[in-house]
Amino acid sequence: MKILGIGNDIIEIYRIQEAIEKNSKLEKRVYTEKEIEYANSNRKYEVLAGRFAAKEAISKAFGTGIRGFKLTDIEILNDELGKPYVNLYGKLKEKYLGYNIMVTISHNKSNAISTAIISCE
């Protein structure tokens, strides 16, 4: 297995909450419908902050930051056991087809953190 990149990110949950409450359009610019649906059923702002941190961590693992794609091109969902997994869309899906993107998300009362590893065979 070859590691393409590793990234991590941490964010204060209140910053996501304030930004979304201030600008109602922001939520749909950053998150997919499935992510919003999941967040609305589970500790909304903690979940959204964790997803944001994961998207940032993945963009850092790409080595590009958030350039040349939209944040909604990265979707973070959970499997039946709660483990997060990544779906890519648009140019990212084409570019990283066949790559494995692993992500972990944690949070406490005030912060959300995520680490991402991108690998290939």
Could you report the per-residue pLDDT of 86-116, keeping only the tens digit for each? Answer: 999 999 999 999 999 999 999 999 999 999 9
**What contacts 61, CB < 8 A, 6 or more positions away?**
4, 5, 6, 7, 101, 116, 117, 118
Q: Which residue stretches of the chain have pLDDT < 50?
A: none
Domain ranges of the chain: 2-120
The residue from 60, 83, 93, 109 that is catalytic is 60
User: Is 27 part of any known ligand binding site?
Assistant: no
Q: How many Å is the Cα radius of gyration of the chain?
A: 14
The residue from 34, 44, 91, 107 that is catalytic is 107
In angstroms, the CA 4 to CA 31 distance is 25
Active site residue 91: no
Active site residue 28: no
Q: What pLDDT sits at residue 50?
A: 97
Q: What pLDDT sits at residue 13?
A: 97
Q: What is the CATH code of the structural domain delimited by 2-120?
A: 3.90.470.20
User: Is 56 part of any known ligand binding site?
Assistant: yes
Nearest CA to 19 out of 52, 41, 42, 43 is that of 52
Residues in the chain: 121
